[in-house]
């Protein structure tokens, strides 16, 4: 048994017995390193976007009057800019609840369905960018998987891609 293996076993026993607190979490030990996105990633990202059907999501948001609620909220805030009281705060909270409700009841089911349709392509894309096999991504613990997704969508190159796509969709 190597020194590293012995140290790991001793640390595990000490943590189990409450002698020391766990020093690292599963999420901090990321089994991946994301490479910089490049032009080879455009096709897989477009496949995912097609399956997500952003047009359907956009239509759902428009049908739910979400844009009306938001524009009314903006107007209310600008009208009440100089008036700060409990009633204004309560109205703001109610408006935000309406916005949240509209998103939950209209957009979330569409997104979940879209993700279900695109999960194979999403996993393939993530595996390629993370230097992993698709099966490794499919079998990740949920906390690590969601961290991988978060790390992917917060990459500066991904932000640039989404800006370019949104310009094309207008």
Q: What percent of the chain has pLDDT over 90?
A: 31
Q: What is the CA radius of gyration of the chain?
A: 23
**Which residue, among 27, 26, 43, has the nearest Cα to 129 in the 3D structure?**
43
Q: Kindly indicate the confidence band of residue 60, based on its pLDDT and cuts at 50, 70 and 90.
A: low
CA atoms within 13 A on the CB side of 119: 12
3-state helix, strand, coil in the chain (%, to 5): 75, 0, 25
- Asked if 103 and 66 count as a contact pair (C-beta separation under 8 A), the reply is yes
Domain ranges within the chain, ordered by starting residue: 1-30, 34-169
DSSP annotation of 46: H
Of 97 and 20, the structure prediction assigns the larger pLDDT to 97
Residues 106-139: tens digit of each pLDDT: 667 777 888 888 999 999 999 999 999 999 999 9
| pLDDT of the residue at 21 | 44
Neighbours of 137 (CB within 10 A): 23
| pTM of the shown model | 0.58
Residues 19-28: tens digit of each pLDDT: 544 433 344 5
Tokens 């995912």 correspond to 48
Could you give the CA distance from residue 95 to residue 139 in angstroms, rounded to a whole number?
A: 40
Could you give the CA distance from residue 145 to residue 141 in angstroms, rounded to a whole number?
A: 6
CA distances for 98 relative to 45, 73, 95, angstroms: 32, 10, 5
- Asked if 118 and 31 count as a contact pair (C-beta separation under 8 A), the reply is no
| pLDDT of the residue at 17 | 59
Phi-psi region of 109 (alpha: psi -120 to 50; beta: other; left: phi over 0): alpha
Across 51-73, average pLDDT: 66
Of 164 and 135, the structure prediction assigns the larger pLDDT to 135
Six-digit token string for 60: 């759902």
| pLDDT of the residue at 26 | 41
Could you give the CA distance from residue 149 to residue 152 in angstroms, rounded to a whole number?
A: 5
């Amino acid at each position: 048994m190597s020194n590293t293996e012995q140290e790991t076993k001793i640390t595990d026993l000490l943590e189990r017995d409450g002698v020391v607190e766990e020093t690292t979490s599963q999420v901090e030990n990321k089994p991946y390193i994301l490479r910089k996105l490049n032009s080879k990633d455009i096709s897989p990202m477009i496949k995912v976007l097609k399956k997500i059907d952003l047009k359907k999501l956009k239509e759902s948001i428009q049908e739910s009057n979400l844009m009306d609620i938001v524009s009314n909220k903006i107007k209310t805030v600008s009208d009440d800019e100089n008036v700060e009281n409990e009633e204004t705060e309560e109205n703001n909270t109610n408006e935000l609840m309406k916005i949240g409700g509209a998103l939950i009841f209209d957009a979330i089911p569409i997104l979940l369905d879209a993700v279900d349709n695109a999960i194979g392509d999403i996993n393939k894309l993530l595996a390629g960018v993370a230097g992993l096999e698709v099966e490794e991504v499919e079998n990740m613990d949920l906390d690590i998987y969601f961290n991988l997704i978060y790390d992917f969508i917060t990459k500066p190159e991904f932000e640039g891609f989404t800006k370019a796509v949104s310009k094309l969709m207008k």
